[in-house]
Amino acid sequence: MTTIARTDPYPTRGTGEVITPRQDPVVWSAPGAPGPMLPAELLEYERDGFLTVPEQITGAEVALYRAELDRLIADPAVRADERSIVEPKSRAVRSVFEVHRLSEVFAALVRDERVVGRARQILGSDVYVHQSRVNVKPGFGASGFYWHSDFETWHAEDGLPRMRTVSVSIALTENRDTNGGLMIMPGSHRAFLGCAGATPEDNYKQSLRMQDAGTPSDAALTRLADEHGIRLFTGGAGSATWFDCNCMHGSGDNITPYARSNVFIVFNSVENAAVRPFAAPSPRPEFIGARDFTPVR
């Protein structure tokens, strides 16, 4: 039987880096589509690839989610679960994945119309959760996340076909300019940087602690930073940053005494469901890249 090769709109993990112009919309909904975001906010998101919301959740809600985060990371069963990722040196919990399945408290946040309504408005369809996690990033040495495009990984290793995915990072502690805050290159979402090098088997076991495969070269990052600049996000607990799946972003180490804890939710369009990975031997586990495409209700 003859196998027909797939056409990959965003090639990556080859012999060298390659830049592909974005072939998908940034905002998928029609002008005037209902939702929590104002037209000016959608225009800002489309232009920059991100949008900040000063009060995504209230102070009382922050306290509720902080208490639930503390409960999860203190639970020995959760810590022993493969969904928990620990710091290589301190062994402190770094992230807990699939929190909307581990916790009804975080499941309710995913269903909150202030949250999922923005995702539907940006993506122009019903959405499902491709990934959720809490990032603890404790003080005194928590390591950062190196520069990367999430879509590069989700396309290569999870099989997301198109750029129809949006992430929200909601601060559960103050995001200072000193405690390893999120950095994004504004406008970098308009071109796809395909990275060099093959994907190792079970790459996720390494990449969740330290990114290697799918990492841009120093030269490419310098060109992008020179062209777009770098924006550092700060804000109080309860604030949020919404950002496009193809934004070049990263964060530094946290050597301050102050934790930077966030809940991170990735919404993908139900019309962009994952297929076979484009540049990996097999899909990552479902707690990292979901294969349940049930819409959020």
Q: Are 136 and 94 in contact (CB under 8 A)?
A: yes
pLDDT class for 212, splitting at 50, 70, 90?
low
Task: Please give the pLDDT value at position 90.
Answer: 72
pTM, 2 dp: 0.94
pLDDT above 80 (res 206): no
Q: Are 65 and 150 in contact (CB under 8 A)?
A: no
Give the residue with greater pLDDT, 8 vs 92. Answer: 8
Q: Are 232 and 163 in contact (CB under 8 A)?
A: no
Which of 193, 200, 177, 198 lies closest to 225 in space, CA to CA? 193
| Cα–Cα distance, 12 to 177 (Å, whole number) | 33
Task: Give me the sign of the Cα torsion angle 177, 179, 184, 185.
Answer: positive
pLDDT in tens, 215-260: 999 999 999 999 999 999 999 999 999 999 999 999 999 999 999 9
- Cα torsion through 254, 256, 258, 264, rounded to 10: -10
Residue with tokens 């929190």: 99
pLDDT above 60 (res 36): yes
Output phi, psi for 145, to 5 deg.
-115, 120
Q: Are 247 and 189 in contact (CB under 8 A)?
A: yes
Q: Are 115 and 109 in contact (CB under 8 A)?
A: yes
| Angle between the N-to-C axes of helices 104-111 and 113-123, in degrees from 0 to 180, rounded to the nearest 10 | 50
pLDDT above 60 (res 285): yes
pLDDT class for 125, splitting at 50, 70, 90?
very high
Give the residue with greater pLDDT, 3 vs 250. Answer: 250
| Cα–Cα distance, 61 to 46 (Å, whole number) | 29
Average pLDDT over residues 53-63: 97
Lowest mean per-residue pLDDT among 7-21, 134-148, 183-197: 134-148
Task: Please give the pLDDT value at position 139.
Answer: 87
pLDDT class for 126, splitting at 50, 70, 90?
very high
Task: Please give the pLDDT value at position 205.
Answer: 73
pLDDT class for 138, splitting at 50, 70, 90?
confident
| Cα–Cα distance, 273 to 271 (Å, whole number) | 6
Which of 146, 143, 170 lies closest to 233 in space, CA to CA? 170
Task: Please give the pLDDT value at position 91.
Answer: 73
Task: Please give the pLDDT value at position 120.
Answer: 98
β pairing state of 191-194 and 231-232: unpaired
| Cα–Cα distance, 49 to 190 (Å, whole number) | 8
**Average pLDDT, rounded, for the chain:** 94
What residue type is 261 in one-letter code?
S
